[in-house]
Structure 1
Amino acid sequence: MTHFLYISDVFCPWCYGFAPVMHRLAAEHPEWPVRVLCGSLVEEPTTLQTMAAKSPTLRAFFERLAATTGQAVGEPFLRRLEPGEEDAPLFSPEMATVLAAVNKLKPGCALETMEAFQTAFYRDGINVLYPPVQPGVAGVDPDALTHVLHDPAIMAEAERESEEALELLGDFVVYPTLWLVDGEDRLLLSRGYSRYEAVASRL
């Protein structure tokens, strides 16, 4: 079956910027399901405060991101970059496990779930790795999510999907990456952030 294959990461700012493009493509082509694979942008645990300390121009980067993509980066997120503000952790493998658990509870909603967590993080400044907030962001029952997260198969599934994503990306690990897949054929639509018009022209 022809489908979109989308590799994204909750902690990838350009993926957050690309979300409206991906959302529009999915809405305009309901005949093509969207398969989402989680990337591994943040392979080792870190925090926003750590990143900000290493990159003094980080706030300016996010302001440029918003201007380029039209996706507002919220003041609650930007405040977390300031010294002394409440910190937030980033770790892609842990986030991938959460997404795999939500996808088990809400099959067929992987794109919406990815976008919900990206929005919660970059617009609302929510610590999306804090377990009590995850059910609300995902729109699932808290007890059901806790139960699924304790299933060893979920972590294994998340690891398999992340490995598949890296294998597909090969030597060019760039997020987001989007293909249109038809059988054994893959048409590259975007590697990194692209505007809607550029992606649509390749279809």
Structure 2
Amino acid sequence: MKLVYVFDAYCGWSHGFSRTLREVTGRHPELPVEVVSGGLFTGSRRVPIREFGYVQGANAKIAELTGAAFGAAYDGLIADGSFVMDSEAAARGVAALRQVAPDRVAELATALQDAFYVDGRSLSDPATYRAVAEAAGIDADAVVAAFEAPEARSAARADFRRAAELGVTGFPTLLAVDGDSVLPLAYGHATAAEVDQRLAALPTR
């Protein structure tokens, strides 16, 4: 069995789930983790953030419910409403981090969300991935090269297809996958204790 975490790096609720993800993966090192980018802001949804009028209210709710931090630098980035969240670029970045450090992808996914929501860094900027890689002690040059490579776009599209094939319609979603069996562990918000309870209740195979 493995865990499959389907998220979007530009999703505030995914940011709110980061603490739970870190706790669950820390408690269950025996479970491999697959991280899949869901593609929240693509196509016609790739527009200036001002067109999503609910963002600030949603972030306040996320912070209240999960304790997630939203930094002053993030507030500054989105203050004039012109910033465009591009989930394909973010998915390329996740794919690059996954390629260079596959065993640390869950940790790096949460670090990427901190880069945006706390540090106010664009996930379309190669410098963001350099900073995340350097902070994690992995090969920053390799991560940036992977982010900029043509294959990263294919990897992003493959992630979007994978999310759809798993039947995921919202982010974040945490699944337990065992062969053809796909069982939900969390959707939107859950504590690590709640995920543990659901893991314990899974049928044994």
Normalising TM by the smaller chain, what interval? 0.7 to 0.9
Which ranges of structure 2 fall in alignment gaps of 5 or more residues? 200-205
Distance 1:25 1:13 in 2: 19
Which ranges of structure 1 fall in alignment gaps of 5 or more residues? none
Q: Residues 97 and 158 of structure 1 are in contact (CA less than 8 Å); yes or no, is this contact kept in structure 2?
A: yes
Distance 2:103 2:162 in 1: 19
Q: Deviation digits for residues 75-130 of structure 1, max 9, x if unmatched?
A: 2212333338xx53311112111221222122222112211110111112112211
Distance 1:153 1:81 in 2: 30
Which residue type is aligned with residue 92 of structure 1?
S
Distance 1:54 1:159 in 2: 24
- Report the secondary structure of 1:160's partner residue: helix
Aligned position for 1:179: 175
Q: Deviation digits for residues 19-62 of structure 1, max 9, x if unmatched?
A: 11111110001110111111111013646xx323551x532321
Distance 2:4 2:52 in 1: 33
- Report the secondary structure of 2:189's partner residue: coil
Aligned counterpart for 2:63 among listed residues 63, 66, 79:
66
Distance 1:82 1:149 in 2: 27
Distance 2:193 2:143 in 1: 38
Aligned position for 2:158: 160
Aligned counterpart for 1:196 among listed residues 178, 184, 192:
192
Aligned position for 1:41: 40
The total of aligned residue pairs comes to: 195
Q: Does 1:102 align with 2:97?
A: yes
Which residue type is aligned with residue 25 of structure 1?
V
Identity across matched positions, percent: 29
Which residue type is aligned with residue 166 of structure 2?
L
Higher helix share: 2
Aligned position for 1:12: 11
Aligned counterpart for 2:125 among listed residues 105, 122, 130:
130
Larger deviation, residues 155-164 vs 33-42: 155-164
Larger deviation, residues 187-196 vs 6-15: 187-196
* TM-score w.r.t. length of structure 2: 0.85
* TM-score w.r.t. length of structure 1: 0.85
